[in-house]
Amino acid sequence: MNAMLLGAWQYRYFIFSSIKTDFSTKFIRSRLGGAWMILNPLVQVAIFAFILSAVLASKIPGIDSQYAYPIYLMSGILAWSLFTEVVTRCLTLFIDNGNLLKKLVFPKITLPLIVAGSALFNNFLLFLAIIMIFGVLGNLPGTALLWMPLLVVVNIALALGIGLICGVLNVFLRDIGQVVPVILQLLFWFTPIVYMENIIPPEYRAWLPSNPLFHIITGYHDVLLYNRSPDWQQLGIIGVLALFLLALSLFMFRKASAEMVDVL
């Protein structure tokens, strides 16, 4: 583990330059460039808000603002977009970089770090856009915003742990690459992002805490919508789970690294 971390540190300039290259090449012929990273999730929010605001706007407890539902939506989408981008890109990370892994000798741990850094940068741009929209809507976050970095760390650690495990398995069993997007769709609707927890029948509501993302999304709502501290007792458990999955994924990655190069 120490050797992997040391290797990542020695290649830190490669990681930063790769993140910059990843961002610039993604929009190299686009007139709007990185704005698409912001527009895509915001259009998704606008669609949900247009369709569901009349039904769900009055269901948000403790908020009187007429814009409460769009703010609720944007807070959840901010967390979800970071999680799903990391998981989705890690899923095909080793397959997409098969030639690189075969031909070059470098610390392979740099690949997921590049993915995490790139997703983090994209999500930061979305965060800035959302904060500006909150300001226009008259709901600027307060001091609870100081908890955001910790929430992001828990979110990205969980996403990296799950994504890397799926990415390693996907090299040997390609069905994983087809199953994970379906599971992500189910997870999106099993997490209170578009709807509120209080509209779910009590017999089904009891299942929500079994979803790790439920606690992360609720933490984003606490900070951005309610301006209060997240429930760190629950988030601490999710943090421990994320560390366990991250350690497991690195163990699997290290053990399977040589075989992966042969299979790719």
Predicted confidence band at 154 (pLDDT cuts at 50, 70, 90)? Answer: very high
Query: Confidence class of residue 50 from pLDDT cuts 50, 70 and 90?
Result: low
Q: Please report which confidence band the pLDDT of residue 47 belongs to, taking 50, 70 and 90 as the band edges.
A: confident
Instruction: Give the residue-averaged pLDDT of 136-157.
Output: 89
pTM for the predicted model, two decimal places: 0.85
Instruction: Supply the pLDDT for residue 84.
Output: 94
Return the pLDDT at 69. Answer: 82
**Can you give the pLDDT at residue 141?**
80
Kindly report the number of other CB atoms within 10 A of residue 238's CB atom: 20
pLDDT at 214: 93
Closest C-alpha among 113, 112, 109, 137 to residue 45: 137
What are the CA-CA distances from residue 77 to residues 37, 131, 160, 246 (Å)? 13, 13, 18, 23
| Better-predicted residue by pLDDT, 255 or 39 | 255
**Residue 33, pLDDT above cutoff 70:** no
- Residue 150: which of 257, 232, 225, 83 has the closest Cα? 232
The rounded percent of the chain whose pLDDT value lies above 90 is 30
Residue 148 has which token pair? 């955001």
- Which of 11-25, 84-98, 193-207 is predicted most confidently? 84-98
Mean pLDDT of the chain: 83
pLDDT > 90? residue 242? yes
